[in-house]
């Protein structure tokens, strides 16, 4: 059986909450001639988590909007035997003649440390998106969850991922909003991070997707009780107040208005 060469190929792992743009980013990176991404595998969204039987999938931990609250979803250690099985199973779907192998699954955001141990020659990309569109769009799958609970899940998942990032040798955060607003520049930054010349097709980007959710958020009575979550959201560079939702007040944190304006998150 063909196998990934531990010393030769670079593996790039994308993680991020459902509805954060993981699939979009993976499909954009997959247009690069030197990157092998999973395609036509039969698995939902061609996600690597569904193309192996070694690790649980996010659905085993409650699925979108819930999985990060399950302790077992946060994986940090990998045994050599597990690493070998994972590499063998994913090698069935990669084009091993290419220098960069890409795998995307939302729960990777809580498994980057585990994956670094299993694939020592690897780099990690966390894609983040404003909690309002993430929560509102996730809710179509999880109607039993409140928006508050989904925002709390967003905060918890990103807290864990950012804490884990300190242990990673090669880690990059991509904001969905910046990818939408400046796809060529953002993809050039990712190319630089991966170590490839930029050669992506970004023609499929729809930069109005967030606006629709913000409008829905503004017109919804829900969220009036989210003041207490603002600081935690600020800590990840977003603001509930800056969506224009009345009644939520920004209370500091590393929220940068200029960056937000550049990314289209705040009014100019």
Partner 1 sequence: MMDGLALAGRPIVEPDVSFVNLDDGDVEPWRGELTAWDLTVISGWWQTARFDVPEPVRGPLSPEEILERLGRSRYFAGIPADELKSTLAAMRAFLFERRGADRVLEAMEEGADVVIGHALGAVAAFNAVCRAPADALVTVGSPLALNPQVGPVVRRWCNVVDVHDTLAFNEGLVSSYGLVSDTWLDCDPRLRAPRPYLASPEFGRVLADVSAPAVAPLG
From residue 205 to residue 244, the character string flagging contacts with partner 1 as x (rule: CB under 8 A) and all else as - is ----------------------------------------
Residues contacting residue 58 through CB under 8 Å, at least 6 positions apart: 18, 49, 64, 67, 73, 105, 106, 107
What is the smallest separation between the CB atom of 17 and partner 1, expressed in angstroms? Answer: 16
What is the smallest separation between the CB atom of 89 and partner 1, expressed in angstroms? Answer: 6
For partner 1, how many residues bind (rule: CB under 8 A)? 20
What is the smallest separation between the CB atom of 21 and partner 1, expressed in angstroms? Answer: 22
What is the smallest separation between the CB atom of 240 and partner 1, expressed in angstroms? Answer: 24
Cα separation, 189 vs 83, whole angstroms? 29
Among 53, 76, 79, 261, binds partner 1 (CB under 8 A): 53
Q: In this complex, which beta carbon is closest to partner 1, that of residue 59 or of residue 159?
A: 59
- Is residue 175 within 8 A of residue 142, CB to CB? The reply is no
Q: In this complex, which beta carbon is closest to partner 1, that of residue 141 or of residue 167?
A: 141
CA 157: distance to chain centroid? 10
Q: Which of residues 21-40 bind partner 1 (CB under 8 A)?
A: 40
Q: Which of residues 118-147 bind partner 1 (CB under 8 A)?
A: 141-145
Binding residues for partner 1 (CB under 8 A): 40-44, 50-53, 57, 59-60, 63, 89, 92, 141-145
């Amino acid at each position: 059986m063909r196998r990934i060469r531990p010393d030769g190929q670079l593996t790039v792992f994308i993680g991020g909450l459902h509805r954060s743009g993981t699939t979009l980013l993976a499909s954009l990176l997959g247009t690069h001639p030197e990157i092998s991404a999973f395609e036509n595998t039969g698995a939902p969204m061609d996600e690597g988590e569904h193309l192996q039987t070694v690790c649980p999938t996010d659905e085993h931990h409650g699925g979108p909007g819930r999985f990060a609250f399950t302790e077992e979803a946060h994986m940090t250690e990998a045994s050599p035997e597990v690493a070998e099985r994972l590499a063998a199973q994913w090698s069935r779907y990669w084009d091993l003649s290419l220098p960069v192998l890409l795998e995307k699954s939302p729960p990777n955001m809580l498994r980057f440390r585990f994956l670094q141990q299993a694939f020592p020659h690897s780099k990690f990309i966390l894609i983040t998106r404003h909690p309002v569109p993430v929560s509102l769009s996730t809710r179509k799958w999880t109607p039993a969850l409140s928006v508050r609970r989904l925002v709390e899940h967003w905060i918890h998942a990103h807290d864990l991922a950012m804490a884990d990032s300190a242990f990673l040798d090669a880690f990059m955060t991509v904001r969905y909003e910046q990818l939408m607003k400046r796809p060529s520049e953002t993809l050039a930054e990712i190319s630089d991070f991966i170590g490839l010349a930029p050669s992506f097709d970004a023609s499929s980007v729809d930069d109005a997707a967030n606006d629709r959710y913000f409008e829905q958020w503004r017109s919804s009575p829900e969220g009036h009780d989210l003041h207490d979550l603002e600081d935690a959201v600020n800590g990840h560079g977003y603001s509930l107040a800056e969506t224009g939702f009345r009644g939520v007040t920004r209370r500091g944190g590393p929220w940068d208005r200029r960056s937000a304006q550049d990314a289209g998150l705040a009014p100019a």
